Each structure stands twice: as C-alpha cells, then as structure tokens.
Structure 1
Amino acid sequence: MRSRTRTLSLIGAVAVVATVLGAGAAIAAPAIGNGWPYASTTRGDDGRTYTLAAVGDIACEPDDDDNAANPSSLKCGSPSLGGYDAEFATAKQATAMKPDAVALLGDEQYQVGKLSDFEQSFEQAWGGLKFLERPAPGNHEYYPYTKKGDNEAGQNGSGYFAYFNGHDKSGTPNSAGQAGDDTDANQGWYSYDLGRWHIVSLNVECNSPAFHNDCSTTDGGLLAQETRWLAKDLQQNQQQCTIAYWHQPTFSATTASTATVPASAAGAGGQEGQVADAWWKLLYADHATLVLNGHEHAYARMKPMDPTGASDPKHGIPEFIVGTGGEALDSLAKNSDGSYANPNVVTGYDQGFGTLKLTLGQHGYTYSYTPALQGPGLGASALDYSDSGSGDCKH
C-alpha cells in the first residue's frame, strides 16, 4: 500500500507547559465489553478489579509475495527472530489472562506495518483478541525501514489504521475506530477508562509525513497539538489512577547512552524520547500512576522517577518497558560489573518473550511478568524468570 501524506493547517506558536490547555476535548472511549469468555467492562467506581495485558514489538514480517524482495533474515522463519512461535506464545499467554483490555505498545507489525503484513502475521496470532486491543503505533508502523539490506517505504500509519479501524475496498483506512482518529488533526491518540483507571494511548512517531516531520511540542504542529490534548485530557480526568503508554521510552534500559544523553536521563531514546520528556512532565504534575513503553526488545521495570530521571519514591512514576511481544530480542545495557547502565532499572529480562499482566484495583495495582517462550537458541532455563509486585495510585 502506498504511503499517505497529509496537509496540516498550522496554528500559531504556543508554549506548552503543564498548565497550557489548547483546543480539543478529551476523549473517553466507550467501555470495552466483548462478552464471553471475557468479563464485561464498565466505567466508574463499580468496586471490581480489571485486567490489562500490555506488550509491544510483536509480529514478524511474513514471508509472502509482497515481501519477496526483502532479506530473509528479517522475515518470519529467520532463526534469529522469535517468529510465529513467539507471537503465538505471547498471544496465548495474554488470552489466558482473560483481559478486560490489551494495551499494545507499538511496533505491532514489522518491518513497516503494511496492511497485508498485519493480515498475514499479527492477525494470525493476535486476531482473537482484536476487539479488546487498544493500540499505540510504533516507528515500524510509520517510518521507512532501510537497515540490514532492506529498503521498504514508510507506511505513515496506513496499514496500522486500516487493520485496527477497518478500511474500504481499496484499502483506505476508516477515519475513526479502536485505534483512534486517523485524520490530519489527530493521529490516533485517545483515552479510555477501566473502572477507576484512566488510560491514555499516545502517538510519538513525529518524524513522519503525518506530523510534517515536526517533533516540537511547543510550536503549532501536530505533535504540539497532541501535547496540549494530553494536558487537557489529564485536567478533565476524574479517575484516581492513570496509566499512559506510547512506543519509544523516555528512559532507556537497553541503550547505555545516546551520543549526548545517559540512559537514565530524560530523552535517552532520541528525538521521540525528548518528546516523551514533555509528556512525562505533564504526567508527573498530574500524579500519574504508571508509564508503559515498548521499542526496546526486553522487559524492564524501573523505579519511580521524576521528569529528569532521578529516583523519586514518593512522587515519581514507575516505567515498564515491555518490548517482548515476539519479533526479536535486544540486550539490556549493563556496566562492566554487571549492574544496569541505567541505575533506575530494578529488574530486567532479555532472554525470552512475554506479556505483562496488570491487575487494576480501586486504589492500586499488582503486576506480574513471566516469559511465555525462550529466545532463539536458548534452553528452557531461559524461562526461569519472574517479576511481580504491587503499587498504589497517587493522590
């Protein structure tokens, strides 16, 4: 499918800070209820708990006619990738959780997220959970891929929106659906409630034609409009507990440093990490409970942090990176003594694939992560990992 470009009418320059609220109303998506075998979902303080499954970086590129010219090492069947086995294993694990919703943390489909790729790979494993899935896009859904001998044009979100929101017979995505709006004014950011929890899905893929390749959060561009929307959404939120998720993390677990930014500092993930730095400030001021990210193909849980990346046990926000959906694995960044390069990483896992289970209660949450399948070439001992615990919502 050809890449789409859009014309965006820019508004006047506006400085974005935690107290600045621009035009556009906060969107609270309808409650998610799919019937048996999943519990129905209602809004408000109904006294029950909710299960949220969370994972990103999922589906390998199918080895089909549309991808015949692409390197085999990047496609399903490559021995260096998790492949179909891994994405089916994580989907089975998520299904067993009987989730009320599934937070997809970006890069649902590799390498560039064509609609045909979604249909031939992601759909095969994760299609049974489709109407519980609340996705955020990743770089592989928007940007071109020109690494490792590949040369694929960026889809600018076309395949992503066409898959999750539906499309007409020519493949043109619907303008609205479960992945949020697909318009010149909104590239799929939205929010929804599960009981007393307010959950926000954001699009950080700003170096794309849809965003006019503009990653500023303070000018008149689309990314700045999204940032103002986030500020207003948080202000209008009436729930006690808040989760926000997007793809590239603000703080890194698998990269020791960029050229200028240590892994523990805000913006370590490059330009998208710097965007997320502005969002972290808004979420911190709003006393958000959790931030979830993907992009780095490992699992990591970090200490509560302030917007600079300093440990802040009382007011900080914990970050979970869950990029272990099935496509491939990265290595956690460590120092020569074996400690994590980012000192805020409490625990991490890079030996297999798995999905995070969050149980959302009235005033707090529990979390549980166990691998569903070991990584390529690794034995069963790679499955000997687990991480679990609990936390409270902030006031």
Structure 2
Amino acid sequence: MRTRTRKTSLIAAGVIAATLFGTAAAVAVPVLQGDWPYAGQSHGEDAKTYTLAAVGDIACEPDDDDNAATPAALKCGSPSLGGYDAEFATAKQTDAMKPDAVALLGDEQYEVGKLSDFEGSFEQAWGGLKFLERPAPGNHEYYAYTKKGDNEAGQNGDGYFAYFNGHDQSGTPNTAGQAGDDSSTNQGWYSYDLGNWHIVSLNVECNSPAFGNDCSTTDGGLLAQETRWLADDLAHNQKQCTIAYWHQPTISATTASTPTVPASAPGAGGQEGQVADAWWKLLYANHATLILNGHEHAYARFQPLNPAGQVDTKHGIPEFIVGTGGEALDTLAKNLDGSFANPNVVTGYDQGYGTIKLTLGQHGYSFSYAPALQGAGLPASALDYSDSGSGSCNR
C-alpha cells in the first residue's frame, strides 16, 4: 500500500460545502488546516482555476479468499487485464495533477464491488486520493456478474457506499457521506461547486433492486425522482459553467454501426445510456458545458452534440468517455477505412490507461489526456498518444 507525507493536518471530518465545494448538496470530506490539499494553490473565493481529474473503470478484482470461485482471468494478475500496474499508474498520474477534486465515472471496483474488493484493490492504489474523490457508481457496483465462468451476486451499491461513506461494525453502509445519500429516496446523486463551476454526479444503474428494476424517467420510480431532482438542481444553479457525469454513455464510441442502431444514435451502448437521454435534454436546455462518462474502456472525445446526437457547434455539449482507469481495454468501433464508426468522435484511444485533466477557469476550460501505461502486450509507442484543447462555457 502506498504511503505519503503531506504538509497538511487533519482536524476533523466535516462538510466543506462553504469552502472548496461551494454551497451545493452536503458532501462529507475532511476539514484541513493550511492548503487544500497541496501547497502553493489558492482556493478562496477569488481562485481563478481549479483542477478536476476524471476517470472510470479502475480496479481489478483482488485474488483473495473472498474471490476463490472467480476465474483467474477476471482477477488481478490476469495477463489480459491492466491489473494493479494499471490502476497504480493512473492513480500516480492523477496525484501528479494535484487535483482539487477527482470525478470517478463508475465501475471503480470489479467485478461486483464488494467492500472487501474495494479494500483489497481500489484502496491500494487510489486510497491516497480518497477525500478528493467524488464518485458516481457503475453497473459493477450494482449488478450481478455472471459472465466468463463467474457467478457473483450483485451488491446493489452496498460495497460502494460502505467504502466511500463509511460503515458500521457489521459493514452496513452509512446513510450519507462522500458518495451522497444511500436511502430509499436517493441512491447517491449529488452536486457540488468548484469556483464558477457546478458539477453533478448521477446514478444511472436503474435495472437494480435499489431502483425497483425501473428505468423509466417519467413515472413514480426512483430514476424518475432522480430526473426531477436533476431538473430542479439545474434550475437553481447560479454558476455559469456546468459538468455532469454518470457511468454508461448515451452516445457510444465502441458500439459498432449496424443497419438499425448506428454508433452515433443516443443509447446505442445500452439501456442505461438510452434512459439518460432524458438527462441530456435537461442539460442541453440548461446550457451545460461538458458531459463525462465511463463504461466503455477507451478514451473518446466527441463533437459538441445536441440530445439527438447531432453536431451543434453553437449550443452542443461535448461528451468525453474516459473508461481507461486500469481494469481492461475495449476497442473503438471503426469502419473498414479506419474512420470512427461514430462520425462524431473527434479522437479516441484504446491502447492504454490514463486520466483526463480538466482545468476549470472562470468562463471556460482546458483539457489534456495522455496515457500513463500501455495495454498488455503493446509496445512503448502506444504511449505516444495525447489529446488536448479548450472550450468555453455555454451560458
């Protein structure tokens, strides 16, 4: 396990909404003396920029007694996975960014996100950044995993909330904390502020018992309540710039084109991405700046899009997929001529692992992405990729 020394002293756990993260939904984080948490950075109301790191799909399943029945190919140490090397590499890369916050884009822990798995894998690499982490859950934190010879029951968010929010002696998660509420009326959606930026973390894992296996955004179910909460949160937002993130992307980069479902179609990547089309419509109507997703184990940057997946250079929202946290790699969907199957993908990378750095200014942002480790069996030249740029807030 990593250890490090920082020139800060922890006084007590508390709510930092009035200091670093503005006055949004309460998120339990430590109150620190001195700089937060790195020397030489200004974080008062007059701060001009903030650094937000973002990545998902991170930690391999530990090879321990709790996972004795899991096939070796699915656990840390498998040659087909990024494994510990990859998750430590992305954690080190993220730490070097000196972020003010880290947006985790779901599937933090494979295969089903048990608390013991979080403690045995994710914590080993990413634990040093824990109190900067602003997570969203993924399907591997909620759903059962019954593929590739494995048969593990879904955790319904229990391990996820127990790790990020804390738990009692029996392992029962606290009902509120860093990952938002864990209750029958709120499954971990929340918002926070960084300077002039309003940032929203959402939970799209609706096909789970916690959501009543109900993926409607318009009935009386939990996902519909979350959607109404999002509408209200955006309506009351006073910040010029807005980021929203959740796990499964609405617009896909790895789903190959078919005659009936092209990769550029909203929801091409699955049920959760399809239902989140309602969130795209809300975010578009409220002039959101960026949408971040994971789930697809690659990096992809899209053109500014409207909710129909069409290029809209005036009011559209760029989507970033950053599913390169360490667990495994997918293949970007391409046509026979090598072009992206989704023509709205500006650039993409599926040869290694890395975290995106977003620098959030008063009225705009810049971004940079570079891999921290190449994929298994790939040459060092796989690290030559990089992507960077900037944009303005839509309000």
TM-score, L = length of structure 2: 0.91
Aligned to 1:37: 38
C-alpha deviation, 1:218, in angstroms = 0.4
1:156 aligns with 2:122: no
Q: Which residue pairs with 1:71 in the alignment?
A: 71
- Paired amino acid for 1:309: G
CA-CA distance at 1:271 after TM superposition: 1.1
Matching residue of 2:388: 388
Counterpart residue number, 2:315: 315
Q: Distance in 2 between matches of 1:374 and 1:303?
A: 26
Q: Distance in 1 between matches of 2:181 and 2:150?
A: 30
| Runs of 4+ residues over 2 Å off in structure 1 | 25-43, 257-261
Call closer, same or farther: CA 1:226–1:245 in 2, change over 3 Å.
same
Name the TM-score, length of structure 1 as normaliser. Answer: 0.91
Equivalent in the alignment of 2:361: 361
Q: CA deviation at 1:47?
A: 3.9
State yes or no: 1:234 paired with 2:234: yes
Question: Residues of 2 paired with 1:31 and 1:317: CA distance?
Answer: 30
Give the CA deviation at 1:259: 8.5
Change (3 A) 1:361 1:30: farther
User: 1:36 Cα deviation (Å)?
Assistant: 3.7
**Contact 1:26 1:229 survives alignment (8 Å):** no
Contact 1:186–1:226 (CA under 8 A) maintained in structure 2: yes
Partner of 2:92: 92
Higher relative contact order (CA 8 A, sep 6+): 1
Task: State the aligned residue count.
Answer: 370
Alpha-carbon distance in structure 2 between the residues aligned to 1:230 and 1:28: 16
Match in the other structure for 2:223: 223
1:27 corresponds in structure 2 to: 25
Counterpart secondary structure, 1:156 = coil
Is the contact between residue 28 and residue 178 of structure 2 (CA under 8 Å) also seen in structure 1? no
Q: Is the 8 Å Cα contact of residues 29 and 193 (structure 1) preserved in structure 2?
A: no
Shift of 1:31: 8.5
- 2:15 equivalent in structure 1: none
Question: For 2:373 and 2:282, how far apart are their aligned partners in 1?
Answer: 36
Aligned match of 1:130: 130
User: How far apart are the structure 1 equivalents of 2:82 and 2:162?
Assistant: 25
Deviation at 1:33, TM superposition (A): 6.4
**Does the 8 Å CA contact 2:24/2:193 hold for their aligned counterparts?**
no
Task: Summarize the alignment of residues 143-182 of structure 1 with structure 2, pairs less than 5 Å apart.
Answer: 143-182=143-182
Q: Which amino acid aligns with 1:27?
A: A
**Change in CA separation of 1:337 and 1:102 when aligned onto 2, cut-off 3 Å:** same
Q: Distance in 2 between matches of 1:96 and 1:204?
A: 30
Q: Distance in 2 between matches of 1:233 and 1:144?
A: 31
Distance of 2:377 and 2:133 partners within structure 1: 30
CA distance 1:177–1:41, shift in 2 (3 Å): farther
Query: What CA deviation, in whole Å up to 9, does each residue of 1:222-277 have, x standing for no partner?
Result: 00000000000000000000000000000000111478432111111221011110
Which SS does the other structure have where 1:164 is aligned?
Answer: helix
Q: Which stretches in structure 1 are left out of the alignment for 5+ residues? A: 1-24
Alignment match, 1:17 = none
Alignment partner of 2:371: what SS?
Answer: strand
Alignment check: 8 A CA contact 2:216 2:223 kept? yes
Q: How far does the alpha carbon of each residue in 1:79-113 deviate from its partner, in whole angstroms, 9 at most, with x for none?
A: 00000000000000000000000000000000000
Rounded to whole Å, the distance in 2 between the matches of 1:176 and 1:32 is 15
Give the Å deviation of 1:180.
0.1
State the Cα distance separating 1:46 from its structure 2 match: 2.1
Measure, in 2, the Cα distance between the counterparts of 1:146 and 1:287. Answer: 40
SS at match of 2:355: strand
Distance 1:300 1:32, change over 3 A: farther
Match of 1:112?
112
Work out the CA distance in 1 between the residues paired with 2:356 and 2:155: 28
Matched AA of 1:272: E
Identify the residue that residue 291 of structure 2 maps to in structure 1.
291
Q: Percent identity?
A: 82
Matched-pair contact (CA < 8 Å) for 2:29–2:178: no
Partner of 1:203: 203
Structure 2 unaligned runs (5+)?
1-22
Corresponding residue for residue 82 of structure 1: 82
User: Which whole-Å CA distance do the structure 2 matches of 1:30 and 1:75 have between them?
Assistant: 32
**Counterpart of 2:372?**
372
